Structure 1
């Protein structure tokens, strides 16, 4: 596998880059801002993914893409459109030109953030985005489906919960994705033998999880981290009165 990692300088990119290189994966790290290779085995491409020339430079010779780039918080619609829609379309078109086999896309729990806390969800439940950011991730998941159905590009959309070193608030007892489980889920999403497109939840084995992750188990995902191990440390932290799964995103007006 020759892997391209977009958004390599972002919050999750900096966690995953050294882990992927340590696994011996030929890695090309892509970001709009300057980044330094973490290892001699890693190459970098600096530029804007809305530029087809940058996309071609990034994807030449690649077999898979882990797409983490884009706006990851609630922002004005024009910014979200450019970074999460236009750039994603340019990436998929590049993948089509370069015969990339699989794209693993960082979707988000904010695609379903307006469901009530405690409501048990499966992947067949309707979208209920909690803002423009979550809405853009619906576009991303739809893009993955389109490019599988029409062009045969395999896809996994990771509906990432709260990817943090450890849970820090009450909501995370249900949504936490520990870094070890994140790495494991990414690897299974990149390497499991599939011939389709599918979303999965990006969440650890939390006792209080709201999400049925049977589809991730089909990829061989076996999470070992559990937010409950930290419950006594955050039990006295108020939950800010949020009553929807998207937390602050859903509460914002």
Structure 2
């Protein structure tokens, strides 16, 4: 483990923050939690978009590293105007970067999203004529986010890149796959636990693994500069499976997990007919030493042993800011 840090953790009242803050403390780090709404892990109620508040936090608490996990997210699009996304996700990131550089920080960790990689043709997938699954690693492009959430997260990534170039800091961007606990707000085709289990094949990780990835970024060797990392459970597939995944996903799954269909049938579940995107987390394993603990094999093992599923599912979850009826600014 690296030397202990006093970590300024933004988004500390959120779903990731409530898992990440205790992990940081168990590893010997101090945590200063900042969010716009109260929470068990939050000491400071303030918006990252408020430059004066951020400067005061740095003056009063003297953090040695920032983990910037606070943001407006994709479901917030229906609740808040586009300008709020710019102020929170872009201006807020800029405020933190400037304060971190002024304080002499050597590392800045930014929680981003794989959502910004899902341009229109990726979203359409096989229905849009794709003949093979899109393989989404850090080299995938061009990036053309399809909503204000993705646009502002990509802009914030570019700010991280700029400040790494200008000031020589390590700016580590973690593009997390799905780890939200609630049901999918755009796909009700399957029961929530079935859909989440399927997503461990290609696009999901547990919230606990997402938190562990941030610890790995904090402990990573110095001198990495600007880096992006796709985070997901390691898929069972290889790139050579890409065409079959679109044409016959159950066949590809059976080759890697022969009893998956039977285990699913016992629970009344359904495997995906088509998989049209695969997130590749190999770079995080190579440079950060991070590999998700929970993968699709772990899901199947739980089904075999009739144990609880190894991921969080809460169809009634709402974000703290929504529950509080709060203002993101």
TM-score in terms of structure 1 length: 0.81
Cα distance between partner residues in 2 of 1:205 and 1:215? 11
Match for residue 201 of structure 2?
A: 173
Question: Which structure would you say has the larger RCO, counting Cα contacts within 8 Å and 6 or more residues apart?
Answer: 2
Taking a change above 3 Å as real, the CA distance of residues 168 and 107 of structure 1, as seen in their structure-2 partners, is farther
Query: What residue ranges of structure 2 are gaps of 5+ in the alignment?
Result: 127-132, 182-191, 238-276, 304-308, 310-329
* Unpaired runs of at least 5, structure 1: 38-42, 235-253
Tell me which residue corresponds to 1:55: 54
Which residue is equivalent to 2:95? 90
What's the Cα RMSD here? 2.4
| Matching of residues 1-253 of structure 1 within 5 Å | 1-37=5-41, 44-60=43-59, 61-74=62-75, 75=77, 76-114=81-119, 115=122, 116=125, 118-126=133-141, 127-164=143-180, 168-169=194-195, 170-195=198-223, 196-207=225-236, 210-217=278-285, 218-230=287-299
- Check conservation: 2:178, 2:205, Cα contact below 8 A: yes
User: Per-residue deviation at 1:96?
Assistant: 1.8
More displaced 10-residue stretch of structure 1: 151-160 or 221-230: 221-230
Distance in 2 (alpha carbons) for counterparts of 1:69 and 1:136 = 13
Can you list the C-alpha shifts for 1:107-163, whole angstroms capped at 9, x where unaligned? 101111122372112211211323111111111110110000001221111111111
Task: Report the Cα offset of residue 90 of structure 1.
Answer: 1.2
The answer as to whether partners of 1:205 and 1:226 remain within 8 angstroms in 2 is yes
The residue that corresponds to 1:242 in the other structure is: none
Q: Give the stretch that moved more between structures: 83-92 or 52-61.
A: 52-61
**Aligned-partner Cα distance in 1 for 2:203–2:177:** 5
Preserved contact between residue 167 and residue 230 of structure 1 (Cα < 8 Å): no
TM-score normalized by the length of structure 2: 0.64
Aligned equivalents of 1:59 and 1:189: distance in 2? 21
Kept in 2: contact 1:164–1:176 (CA 8 A): no
Structure whose alpha-carbon radius of gyration is higher: 2
2: distance between equivalents of 1:214 and 1:157?
15
Misfit runs of 4+, over 6 Å: 231-234
Mapped partners of 2:194, 2:145: distance in 1 = 23
TM-superposed CA distance for 1:187, in Å, is 1.0
Q: Indicate conservation of the 8 Å contact 1:80/1:132, yes or no.
A: yes
Q: Could you tell me which residue of structure 1 aligns to residue 315 of structure 2?
A: none
Contact 1:4 1:28 in 2 (8 A): yes
